[in-house]
Structure 1
């Protein structure tokens, strides 16, 4: 069951605290993403809430895709100091994410001057792989 008041509070908080910056942009705030880094890994925690469900009652794949994209794009920014652009992304969903949180890990597969290849893996609260993505990124002009 969706708690309209809670969703409205999340929306209002996101609107009030968002900035056009990495980790602070509106969608990251609205999805309540927690973003941290260790070495060359970007860790994203995505709380799974009913307002993010698809009609089948699990986390919508598009929401997970956005979080995967964030884990890879934020890693590029963290490592290179500038943002890249997603050229393509392939996603594979292994099982539904139903409740709790999804933890994502973005990593470089191959880092290049003009193009980089990354992956993001998503795990449920039990540590089971729920999805993964691979992507190609155009690196920033100064990268």
Structure 2
């Protein structure tokens, strides 16, 4: 589907990458979790997607750092959307697992962070993806792997 076609989009007639671009461009609503957490700068290409966040105190756990659930959400989004970007028309996916390694504490002082996801292997029924969260200086803050089930 291109921008010159009917402005009424039918997600069921789009590839996964086309769906993600439509969300990025505001032609389809984004996933509600992105607004809840405050995700920004969603973009990428087939097989590799990224999303960013500027940490705030609202993301903190009782210890005064960004909650692991927020970090995991960013990693899951980058990895999962990377798999989503490979889907053909009529295909769907669900995450089977997410394994996260927290490597550095993240606070508001860390500044903007970016989760970068990549599909490592895409088969007919499963996909394996990874995601990394980096700060603006390129330091690795967290890493995850995710297995996804692909179905029609």
TM-score normalised to the size of structure 1? 0.77
- Which residues of 2 match residues 7-18 of structure 1 at below 5 A? none
Q: Over residues 79-136 of structure 1, what are the superposed CA-to-partner deviations in whole Å (9 max), with x where a residue is unaligned? A: 2144411111110000011121210111011111101111000112322100000111
Counterparts in 2 of 1:106 and 1:83: CA distance versus 1, 3 Å: farther
Match of residue 90, structure 1, among 80, 96, 99 = 99
Kindly indicate whether structure 1 or structure 2 has the higher relative contact order, using CA contacts under 8 Å at least 6 residues apart.
2
Task: Give structure 1 regions of 4+ aligned residues with deviation exceeding 4 angstroms.
Answer: none
Contact 2:46 2:82 in 1 (8 A): no
User: What is the total number of aligned residue pairs between the two structures?
Assistant: 121
Name the CA distance, whole Å, in 2 between partners of 1:111 and 1:44.
Answer: 21
Q: Is the 8 A contact 1:73 1:83 kept in 2?
A: no
Q: Residue deviations 1:34-66, cap 9 Å, x none? A: 210135310110121110011121111111101
Residue ranges of structure 1 left out of the alignment (5+ in a row) = 1-21
Aligned counterpart in structure 1 of residue 47 of structure 2, from 36, 40, 45: 40
CA RMSD of aligned residues (A): 1.9
Match of 2:142 in 1: 131
Is residue 2:30 matched to residue 1:24?
yes
| Structure 2: unaligned runs, 5 residues or longer | 1-27
